[in-house]
Amino acid sequence: MRFGLTKVTPARGGLWNPMEEIVQMQDMLNNMFKERSFGERWSETGILAPLVDVKDEGSELLVTTDLPGVEKGDVDLDVSDNMLTISANRNSVNEEKDEGYLRRERTYSSFSRTVTLPNAVSVEGAKAKLENGVLSVTLPKMQIEENKKILIE
């Protein structure tokens, strides 16, 4: 038998331990969220941020993310202070005609995700491609000049 949101445990020496109840509550909340599907996919409404992969390819960084249903013109990329911000909007209109009824549903989803890059990058020579719902951004690393010695005459 369950009582409220906490488990019934036998009393240990008659002492109440509030931390034990907090840990039990945290476990129950974790289990509740594990059972539901809060994946990294787009939902019909709300703001979500898909997962981002950052790969070091020697002289450049490759950032890849999935943007299903997003058009090229609805994506905005911004680079500043070793950070890449990817913003996108997704709009869809569904029409359904049945026995004289016309139903039109519109959904609008958006997100903005900022990723800290491991190296300083240059916007010059950067490339971005959105193909089959996958955004690939190639950013060349900035060349940092090594210290040069000054000869004393």
CA distance 67 to 51: 10
Q: Is residue 9 part of a domain?
A: no
Is there a contact between 80 and 142 (Cβ–Cβ < 8 Å)? no
The rounded distance, in Å, linking the Cα atoms of 71 and 135 is 10
In a domain, 101, yes or no: no
Q: pTM, whole model, 2 decimals?
A: 0.57
User: Domain holding 76: CATH number?
Assistant: 2.60.40.790
Number of domains in the chain: 1
- 146 part of a folded domain: no
What distances in angstroms separate CA 49 from CA 15, 88, 110, one per listed residue? Answer: 45, 10, 9
Residue 6 lies in a domain: no
pLDDT of residue 61: 92
Which residue range is the domain that position 69 belongs to?
A: 20-92+109-140
Residue 65 structure tokens: 């993310």
Any domain includes 102: no
pLDDT at 77: 92
Closest CA to 49 of 115, 119, 127: 115
Output the tens digit of pLDDT for each of the chain's 153 residues.
444 444 555 555 567 788 888 888 888 887 776 654 444 344 444 456 778 999 999 889 999 998 887 888 889 999 988 899 998 888 776 666 666 666 667 777 788 888 888 888 888 889 999 999 899 999 998 877 667 778 888
Look at residue 123 and tell me if it is in a domain.
yes
At residue 34, the pLDDT reads 63
Token digits for 86?
A: 């990817």
